[in-house]
């Protein structure tokens, strides 16, 4: 966390897989620490898995709350992964 005289930005990163499956490949993953005001941006690093999966953040569904991010996992054939636990992702988060 940066001091308020530097804008008070908070930068976090987290590794997650399917920490809360919302069904049909949709997941909600809690942040390591809730943002007091808002999460402003999220960037991801895809992690390949033994099943050949990858993660993409579907912008039509993405939810950046103060406490969690919603995301969708896809397999290499562009089908929604039914079990996102086989897919890992690292998120880099910026908020305040």
pLDDT tens column, 43-90 = 887 765 656 566 666 655 678 889 998 887 776 666 666 654 566 788
- Residue with the two structure tokens 């039509």: 60
What would the pLDDT profile of 12-51 be if each residue is shown by its tens digit?
999 887 655 676 667 888 999 999 999 988 888 776 565 6
Q: Which two tokens stand for residue 31?
A: 């942040």
> SS3 of 27, please?
strand
Euclidean distance between CA atoms 83 and 6, whole angstroms: 41
Q: In CATH, what class is 9-95? A: mainly beta
pTM of the shown model: 0.75
The whole-number pLDDT of residue 86 equals 62
Q: Which two tokens stand for residue 41?
A: 């941006």
Residues composing the chain = 96
* Rama region for 25: left / alpha / beta (φ>0; ψ in -120 to 50; rest): left
């Amino acid at each position: 966390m940066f001091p308020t005289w530097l804008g008070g930005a908070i930068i976090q990163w987290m590794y997650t897989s399917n920490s809360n499956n919302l069904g049909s490949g949709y997941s909600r993953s809690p942040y390591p620490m809730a943002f007091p005001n808002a999460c402003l941006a999220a960037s991801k690093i895809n992690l390949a898995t033994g099943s050949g999966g990858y993660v993409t953040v579907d912008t039509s569904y993405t939810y950046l709350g103060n406490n969690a991010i919603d995301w969708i996992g896809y397999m290499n054939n562009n089908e929604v992964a039914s079990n996102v636990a086989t897919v890992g992702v690292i998120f880099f988060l910026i908020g305040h």
